[in-house]
Amino acid sequence: MLIRPATVADVEALAALHVRGWQIGYAGLLPQEALDRLSVEERTARWQEIVATSDLPRRGPLVAAVDGVVAGFSYVGPSRDGASGSDDGPGGHGEVWSFYVDPDRWRGGIGRTLMATALRTLREAGRTDAVLWALADNARAIAFYEATGWTRDGRTKTDTFAGVEIAEVRMHHDLRGPI
């Protein structure tokens, strides 16, 4: 497995994995008809923009490639939620904006290695802490985050997807210690 910055050549694979990750990972948590309507083409356009503006380690996507095939990705940058210290300067909070592993490869070690690399990338950007948001009912994802050193910090928010309100919990990781 190789973890590296995403390139333009990865855009279609990123989009396909992103859609599949939502459709399988959020089944039963989000409206199925809305998950079924997710478009790889629309995600491809968004991933083209993301990759084109990547500025790692400050912000950008990382991919986990196995035998040259994208098997997971993480998209990291400064915290977007106004957390204390979330400015874009050194010492502020970083955020794992997106984190997905191919569902066929769950529980194979890719996620742990990719998460460790994402956290090290945030630390290289001068971040002292990291946050991420998870669906409050996504027990599988929350268990993974907790197993990789994340803790719930008590902050919550509600988002809307396809007209349905969705509760999210914020998780925290101290980047000053071991990753």
Structure-block tokens of residue 47: 């991933």
- Check pLDDT > 90 for residue 172: yes
Q: What is the pLDDT of residues 143-153, one digit of tens each?
A: 999 999 999 99
Structure-block tokens of residue 118: 């994402």
Q: What is the pLDDT of residues 6-35, one digit of tens each?
A: 999 999 999 999 999 999 999 999 999 999
pLDDT at 82 (0 to 100): 62
What mean pLDDT is predicted for residues 138-147? 97
Query: Which residue would you say has higher pLDDT here, 178 or 9?
Result: 9
Give domain status of residue 36, yes or no.
yes
The domain tally of the chain equals 1
The domain that contains 92 carries what CATH number?
3.40.630.30
pLDDT at 162 (0 to 100): 87
Give domain status of residue 133, yes or no.
no
- Check pLDDT > 80 for residue 174: yes
pLDDT at 36 (0 to 100): 96
Q: What is the pLDDT of residues 36-81, one digit of tens each?
A: 999 999 999 999 999 999 999 899 999 999 999 999 999 999 998 7
Give domain status of residue 41, yes or no.
yes
Structure-block tokens of residue 108: 């194979």
Strand order, beta sheet including 151-161: 2-5, 60-66, 69-78, 93-101, 129-135, 164-174, 151-161
Strands (E), the chain: 2-5, 60-66, 69-78, 93-101, 129-135, 151-161, 164-174
**Structural domain containing residue 120:** 2-128
